[in-house]
Amino acid sequence: NEGNEYFREKDYRRAVIAYSEALKKNCEDPELNAVLHTNRGAAQFYLGNYRSALNDAIQAKKLKPTHLKAIIRGALCHMELKNFSEAVAWCEEGLRIDSKEKKLVEMRAKADKLKVNIKAVQPDFSRRWQGRAVMGIDLLCERNIKLVLEPSNEEEEISDGLAELSIDGFHSDNATGAKVHLDADGNLNWPVLFLYPEHEQTDFIAAFHENSRFIDHLMVMFAESPPWDLERKYLPSNIELYFEDEERAEMYKLNPEHTLLQVLQHQRYFVKAGTPTVLAFVKHSPFSKKYFSGKKVHWL
């Protein structure tokens, strides 16, 4: 009930935490647990945490295979992540339960079309966005954010590479398909990739508001231990974040109280392919000690 109230107020971060607390009660009612996962997935979805939302949809579907809301949410997550083949499969699964479900019918048609056309669309990317490239560069210059721009396969000149920059998406071959965008208040929302080297896992936040803090996202992401964290070591208070300066082969330890913008403005942070990346480690873990052995580390 508390989670539902936060959800109605559009306080999705607190909704995620409330639903996670409910799941920790280990209720023996699989249908209720399916609802909790579905609701938490919806809150994660609105926060832009599409991978976490998808994981919840998967768990809800395991608990209740006919739970249509979970199937719809999972299909929506795959659409946002540009996994169009998977989106089609989820839609078809839902349509076997209810062949007239309008959302699934429409989404399946859209996903099928995008799956077929995506390769044909990508080569025209730079031309389509060229008129808006300068606007994107100006926004970043105002914020002192530095980009590493790599020329596309077809075009070797850096000037052509710059044409791929816009406020709607920095690079046509971004693996996640997510795009940095400008909201109604004039703030940038970035796709951000979290890497967990110890477990060779990744996490992806599709819309990380430039003025939100890392600790706020960690609280949501690790409200419940991920399935790969068997030792339950990844707690918000136990995680250290870093970024790598590849040119100098040096590491920078982030202050989790800092906002994304504060990190992006650091003189040695360079955004590659439009997707900021951070590395996450468990404090004082044997893996962490070995990983940083011989490396020069700076503190922000």
Whether the per-residue pLDDT at 227 is higher than 90: the answer is no
Condensed to tens digits (0 to 9), the pLDDT of residues 27-49 reads: 999 999 999 999 999 999 988 88
Which of 1.25.40.10, 1.10.10.60, 3.20.10.10, 3.30.70.580 would CATH assign to domain 1-119? 1.25.40.10
| 8-state DSSP, 164 | T
- Determine the pLDDT at residue 125: 33
Contacts of 21 (CB under 8 A, 6+ apart): 223
| Residue type present at position 167 | I
- Which among 180, 168, 225 is positioned nearest to 207, based on CA atoms? 180
Please state, for a pLDDT cut of 90, what percent of the chain lies above it.
49
Q: Are 170 and 180 in contact (CB under 8 A)?
A: yes
Tally of residues, the chain: 300
CATH 3.10.20.90 residue window(s) in the chain = 181-299
CATH match for 181-299 among 3.10.20.90, 3.30.390.30, 3.90.1150.10, 3.40.50.1970: 3.10.20.90
In the chain, the largest separation of any two C-alpha atoms, in whole Å, equals 61
The pLDDT value recorded for residue 82 is 82
Output the average pLDDT for the chain.
81
CA atoms within 13 A on the CB side of 169: 15
Inter-axis angle of helices 12-24 and 214-221, to 10 degrees? 30
In the chain, which segments carry CATH 1.25.40.10?
1-119
The model's pLDDT over 96-150, given as tens digits with 9 standing for 90+, comes to 999 999 999 999 988 888 876 544 434 333 333 333 433 466 778 888 898 876 5
Return the pLDDT at 168. 35
Q: What is the pLDDT of residue 115?
A: 72
> 196: which strand partners?
201
Task: For residues 203-214, give the mean pLDDT.
Answer: 88
If you average pLDDT over residues 249-259, what whole number do you get? 93
